[in-house]
């Protein structure tokens, strides 16, 4: 119930900010490509002892103010291991969408809404298949946590073309850098 109230408040606030951002649409005339580090599950771990923070690769893409973010872990992955043993490991994925609220020419707040999935289990080297890149071991989860991912990205643009960003949500946190390509007369 408190999560539902928080989600409703977040969405209503985002709508009002989005309306404001439409008035200053010129600041969103960019294509942004950001890459960074994400600690997947770090903030979920504060609420759930079965979850731990994992290093993840984060990609944030933006065009005309609309943003898409994806995170995937890069630790504990034995999907391509050539052995036939069972390997303990993890698998995380986070997908988010958002719309930028340009506060100034160099600073945007991007409220995001998405889904985060965190799993622990094992990669089974005896249960595998082959794809175009080689062997793929089957992942069998023994614990799974799937929840809405509500947060925001703070993006700073330096010298008109370079981004530094920080993202925080109810599941993850992260940092990264990127490029901003102005479109039109912005």
Quote the longest CA-to-CA distance of the chain: 59
C-alpha 178 chain-centroid distance: 15
Strands (E) across 75-133 are located at 86-99, 101-102, 107-131
Q: Give the Cβ contact number of residue 96 at 10 Å.
A: 27
pLDDT digit string (tens) for 25-56? 678 889 999 999 999 988 888 888 888 888 89
- Is a pLDDT exceeding 50 seen at residue 123? yes
How far, in Å, CA of 27 to CA of 160, rounded?
Answer: 11
Residue 12's pLDDT band (cuts 50, 70, 90): low
Tell me the C-alpha distance between 11 and 97, whole Å. 13
- Quick: pLDDT tens for 128-176: 888 888 888 888 899 999 999 999 999 999 988 999 999 999 999 999 9
The mean pLDDT of the chain is 86
**Whole-number pLDDT of residue 32:** 96
For residues 40 and 172, the answer to whether their CB atoms sit within 8 Å is yes
Question: Rounded to whole angstroms, how far apart are CA atoms 80 and 56?
Answer: 18
Contacts within 8 Å (CB) and 24+ apart, 136-144:
136/79, 136/80, 137/78, 137/79, 137/80, 137/81, 137/87, 139/79, 139/89, 139/91, 141/91, 143/50, 143/119, 144/117, 144/118, 144/119
Binning pLDDT at 50, 70 and 90, where does residue 186 land? very low
Closest CA to 117 of 87, 86, 97, 141: 141
Sign of CA dihedral 97, 146, 13, 60: negative
3-state secondary structure 168-182: EECCCEEEEEEEEEE
Q: Name the residue among 176, 183, 172 with its Cα closest to residue 154.
A: 176
């Amino acid at each position: 119930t408190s999560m539902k109230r928080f989600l409703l408040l977040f969405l209503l606030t985002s709508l009002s900010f989005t309306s404001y951002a439409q008035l200053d649409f010129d600041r969103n005339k960019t294509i942004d490509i950001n890459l960074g580090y994400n600690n997947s599950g770090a903030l979920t771990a504060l609420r759930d002892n079965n979850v731990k923070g994992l290093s993840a690769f984060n990609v944030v893409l933006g065009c005309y103010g609309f943003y898409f973010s994806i995170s995937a872990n890069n630790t504990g992955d034995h999907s391509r291991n050539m052995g036939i043993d069972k390997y303990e490991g993890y698998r995380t994925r986070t997908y988010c969408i958002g719309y930028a609220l340009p506060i100034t020419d160099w600073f945007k707040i991007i409220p995001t809404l998405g889904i985060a999935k965190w799993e622990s289990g094992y990669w089974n080297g005896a249960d595998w298949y082959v794809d175009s890149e080689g062997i793929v071991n089957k992942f069998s989860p023994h614990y799974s946590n799937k929840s809405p991912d509500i947060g925001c990205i703070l993006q700073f643009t330096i010298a008109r073309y370079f981004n530094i960003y920080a993202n925080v949500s109810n599941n993850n946190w992260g940092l990264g850098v990127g490029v901003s390509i102005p479109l039109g007369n912005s």
